[in-house]
Amino acid sequence: MIGYIFRRVLAVIPVITIVAVFVFLLLRLTPGDPAAIIAGDAATPAQLEKIRTSLGLNDPLPVQFATWVGHLFQGDLGISLISNTSVSSMIADRIWPTINIAIMTIILSVVLAVPMGVLAAWRHRTWADYAVMSFSVLGFSVPVFVIGYIFIQVFSIELRWLPVQGYTAPSQDFGKFLSKAILPCLTLATIYVALIARMTRASMLEVLGEDFVRTARAKGVSETVVLFRHALQNAAVPILTIIGTGFALLISGVVVTESVFNIPGIGRLTVDAILARDYPVIQAMILLTSALYVFINLLIDVSYSLIDPRIRY
């Protein structure tokens, strides 16, 4: 087991390296002078030269790469061109709202979707199944911002139950965090509930047809035990895959929701950086999201082998 995890972690290194090279080249290989792109149209030659020196653009490419990677290892992601502060501290300020929202969304999605999917599979081709499937089609097809605005209209403006937008850290006031986070989380969760419920249903349907489920029934155990102890764990691998990728997508895809609900997370940081062409920030965001994907995939792979004893690589 330890050996397996060790090997999986080692396998991460080449992936991260390729991503790092790509991110590095992103700026260096864009046509024209990166300094000119960064500085914009109205830059003076002196400003250009200053940017070139600060980015180390006068050095040969491999040297630049080595310096850049060296800085990465010290947690130095560069200096923002707009705010002139360090990119790492900008991200550190903004990442917690995003992570908190993402975790809450994924918990909400799993809690809603897995029982829905199990129910749909258990009551295959009955109204319960059709209800779950219809909801799931709806959840897929309605855009996130529409759902967000509908929720705001209903719960905040008409019913006045919840605040329209904003964010409070859970460490400050957990109740306020919940009341402000619930709408964005529900909004984000719709599509994941749809996705996870569908995957759970499909996976459970397959497992419920297996011989060992018949064996369990022949033992005289109750349906709840058949469904949740015997079937669900066997159906878990694809469900877990969807949850994992869903979580990674969430972190990188919160851009819209953070804008709609005015949450100071990395989604909005990215949007602002793109609009302002703040290349060091964009670079850092790409690097961060890819690292996150790789890390979550690692986590999923390891958890497979915990769920299913047959998986030992």
Partner 1 sequence: MKFSTKSFDGVPPVLSIENLTVGLTGNPAAKPVLNGISFQIRAGETLCLVGESGSGKSVTSLAAMGLLPKSALEVTGGRILLQDRNLLDLSSRQMRDMRARHLSMVFQEPMTALNPVMRVGQQIEEVINTHTRLSQKDRQKKVLDIMEQVHLPDVERIYRSYPHQLSGGQRQRIMIAMALILEPQLLIADEPTTALDVTTQRQILSLISELQAKHGTAVLFITHDMGVVAEIADTVQVMKHGELVEQAPVETLLRHPQMDYTRKLLQAVPSLTPRPARETAAAASALTVQGLRKVYGASGWLVNREPTNAARDVSFEIPRGRTLGIVGESGSGKSTVARCIMRLIDPTEGSVKVGDLEIATLGRAALRPHRRHIQIVFQDPFRSLNPRWTVGRSLVEGPLNCGQDKQVAMAKARELLALVGLPADAIDRYPHQFSGGQRQRIAIARAIAMEPDVLVADEAVSALDVSVQDQVLKLLDELQQKLGIAILFITHDLRVAAQICDEVVVMQKGRIVEHDTAANVLGNPKHPYTKALIDAAPGRDWDFANFRELKAASA
Binding site residues, partner 1, CB under 8 A: 3, 7, 124-125, 210-212, 214-222, 225, 229-230, 233-234, 307-310
Our measurement of the distance from residue 272's CA atom to the centroid of its chain's CA atoms, rounded to an integer in Å, reads 19
For residues 158 and 211, which CB has a smaller minimum distance to partner 1 in the complex?
Answer: 211
For residues 8 and 176, which CB has a smaller minimum distance to partner 1 in the complex?
Answer: 8
The SS3 assignment for 23 reads helix
User: In degrees rounded to 5, what are phi and psi of residue 86?
Assistant: -75, 140
First to last CA, the chain: 9
Cα(57)–Cα(77) distance, integer angstroms:
16
Q: 170, 263 in Cβ contact below 8 A? A: no
Residue in 254, 289, 263, 249 with CA at minimum distance from that of residue 145: 254
For residues 160 and 310, which CB has a smaller minimum distance to partner 1 in the complex?
Answer: 310
Cα(93)–Cα(216) distance, integer angstroms:
52
For residues 3 and 175, which CB has a smaller minimum distance to partner 1 in the complex?
Answer: 3
* Least distance CB 81 / partner 1 (angstroms): 44
Cα(93)–Cα(74) distance, integer angstroms:
18
Q: How many residues does the chain have?
A: 313
Cα(127)–Cα(108) distance, integer angstroms:
24
For residues 234 and 245, which CB has a smaller minimum distance to partner 1 in the complex?
Answer: 234
For 156, which DSSP code? Answer: I
For residues 237 and 274, which CB has a smaller minimum distance to partner 1 in the complex?
Answer: 237
* Least distance CB 179 / partner 1 (angstroms): 40
The number of beta carbons lying within 10 Å of the beta carbon of residue 304 is: 17
* Least distance CB 189 / partner 1 (angstroms): 28
* Least distance CB 117 / partner 1 (angstroms): 18
* Least distance CB 202 / partner 1 (angstroms): 17
* Least distance CB 310 / partner 1 (angstroms): 5
* Least distance CB 236 / partner 1 (angstroms): 9
Place of tokens 């709609």: 260
For residues 234 and 259, which CB has a smaller minimum distance to partner 1 in the complex?
Answer: 234
